Structure 1
Amino acid sequence: MQKFTIKLWSAAAGTVAATAMATQAVAAGAPQEPADPAEFVYPTGFGKALSLMLAGEGGENGIGVHKVWPTLSFPALTTEQIDQAVTGNSLVIPYHYAHQYSDDGKVGGYNIRYDQVELSKCPTTEIPNDGYLLYEGVCSAQVKEPVTGTWEAKDNKLCVDIAWAGKTQIEDCVTVFFVMDSVAFVKDDGTVSGKAHSLKKGAAPDM
């Protein structure tokens, strides 16, 4: 069993404080924690937490947060919770990829590749969803590469084998956490895997 923690330290100067945040994935075994991840209870119930996340409520009521100060603890999702959360939905990193998890254990969606094109193709003012990105004087076009693969929730982890561009790109089993309005993946060595994901209802929209 694992838990994901965020520690907050505050240094007040008058009425204003500067807050720093650090993250740490902690292996199970602490005597004060339940031995079974299923014993963790979300403040509003897991079903409510999931519905808020899919509705874009931004972590209202603190999705997955235990009332502990100055450390906020986020329980790892169980096998059943992972299955409930991702089946028929999409895990997305905006402007990077959208992976769609079907109820038959298949993964679809797309990865976004950026190819350099003529500078004249990029407008001087950014236009959302136009398929172009101007960054440091370089114009790039978004190219969507179809994603194929499989997924399975087992042993309180999400296991995926995902390929695009003709080769396997992600093959791993990770522990899953709801951290407010984001989804965090944690590897077996305790490190956070890549960026935070968003959980979207159904097939992910174009980005």
Structure 2
Amino acid sequence: MQTFTMKLWTAAAGAAAATTMAAPPALAHPEDVPTTASPTDFVYPTGFDKALSLMLAGEGGENGIGSHRVWPTLSFPALTTEQIQKALTGNTLAIPYHYAHQYGADGTVGGYNIRYDPTDLKKCPKTEIPGDGFLLYEGVCSAQVNEPVTGSWKAEDNKLCVDIAWAGKTQITGCYTVFFVMDSVAMVKPDGTVSGKAHDLKKGAAPDM
């Protein structure tokens, strides 16, 4: 089972924390997990379905969506094939102000990619107005254009495999390991690097951003 791990200690805080932390209790180490328990039973103390419902409700719940007790590192298990299917079918993975990809139950991907085209500076309000279709950044005014997305997806071998295109060419393709990290979704490439930014998981077809 693959895990997504983040180092929590800084050099300065590490020594101080090491002197104050009590010995880890039972189940603090992976080898202490009962052999009958799956990694997600351990990480999501109220169960994966509850964790997913919290994610789709737009909040992480107590302790994110549930995680094991934390010492120097914080680890999350990769979602299984079944969990990926549960999480994505009929829902949307989005990076705000970048794209919203809708995962259909029939294995198709829809939604849109956001393109920004420079336009007359006078069209941008001096104060940002969310949802007005304009972005003012470093003195440049851009108009938001939503480009339709097409593609396919499937969950297999504990990975999300996609072939997603917009603007007339394939833009995202391949298989990714998927993690729930607190209240975000991380997609990890085969080489172990995180793909893009943290994703939001939205229930149903996400509204325009």
Considering the TM-score relative to the shorter chain, is it more than 0.5? Answer: yes
- Whether the 8 Å CA contact 2:91–2:205 is kept in 1: the answer is yes
Is 1:66 matched up with 2:68? yes
Do 1:88 and 1:202's aligned partners in 2 also have CA atoms closer than 8 Å? yes
Deviation of 1:127 after TM superposition, in Å, equals 1.0
Instruction: Tell which deviates more after alignment, 54-63 or 69-78.
Output: 54-63
Alignment of 1:25-44 (within 5 A): 38-41=38-41, 42-44=44-46
Name 1:167's counterpart in structure 2.
169
Alignment of 1:46-65 (within 5 A): 46-65=48-67
Query: What is the SS of the residue equivalent to 2:9?
Result: strand
In the other structure, the counterpart of 2:97 is: 95
Verify the 8 A CA contact 1:100 1:109 in the aligned structure 2. yes
Structure 2: gaps (5+ residues)? 18-29
Q: Does 1:120 align with 2:122?
A: yes
Shift of 1:33: 7.8
Q: Deviations over 1:135-156 (max 9, x none)?
A: 1110000000000000000000
Name the SS for the 2:86 alignment partner: helix
* Larger relative strand fraction: 1
- What percentage of residue pairs aligned between the two structures are identical? 78
Following the alignment from structure 1 to structure 2, what is the Cα–Cα distance between the partners of residues 173 and 32? Answer: 31
C-alpha RMSD over aligned residues: 2.4
Letter in 2 for 1:178: F
Deviating above 6 A after TM superposition, structure 1's stretches of 4 or more consecutive aligned residues are: 30-37
| Separation (CA, whole Å) in 1 of partners of 2:7 and 2:53 | 26
Q: Taking structure 1 as reference, are residues 38 and 83 closer, same or farther at Cα in structure 2, changes over 3 Å only?
A: farther
- 1:106–1:73 CA distance, 2 compared to 1 (3 A): same
CA distance in 2, matches of 1:149, 1:131: 25
Q: Tell me the distance in 2 between the aligned counterparts of 1:173 and 1:37.
A: 27
Q: Which amino acid aligns with 2:187?
A: F
* Residue-by-residue CA offset, 1:7-40 (whole Å, 9 max, x unaligned): 1115779xxx9xxxxxxxxxxxx97789999543
Letter in 1 for 2:3: K
Cα shift readout 1:36-89 (whole Å, capped 9, x = no counterpart)? 995431222000000000001234333252224121110100000000000000
Task: Tell whether 2:116 aligns with 1:110.
Answer: no
Distance 1:12 1:65 in 2: 25
Residues of 2 paired with 1:169 and 1:36: CA distance?
41
- TM-score, normalization: structure 2? 0.85
Secondary structure, in 3 states, of the residue corresponding to 1:50? helix
Structure 2 CA distance for partners of 1:195 and 1:36, relative to 1, 3 Å: farther
The residue that corresponds to 1:176 in the other structure is 178
Structure with the higher helix share, 1 or 2: 2
TM-score (structure 1 length as normaliser): 0.86
8 A contact 1:44–1:61 mirrored in 2: no
> Could you list the per-position Cα deviations for residues 116-146 of structure 1 after superposition, in whole angstroms to 9, with x for gaps in the alignment?
0011111111111100001111000000000
Aligned residues: 192
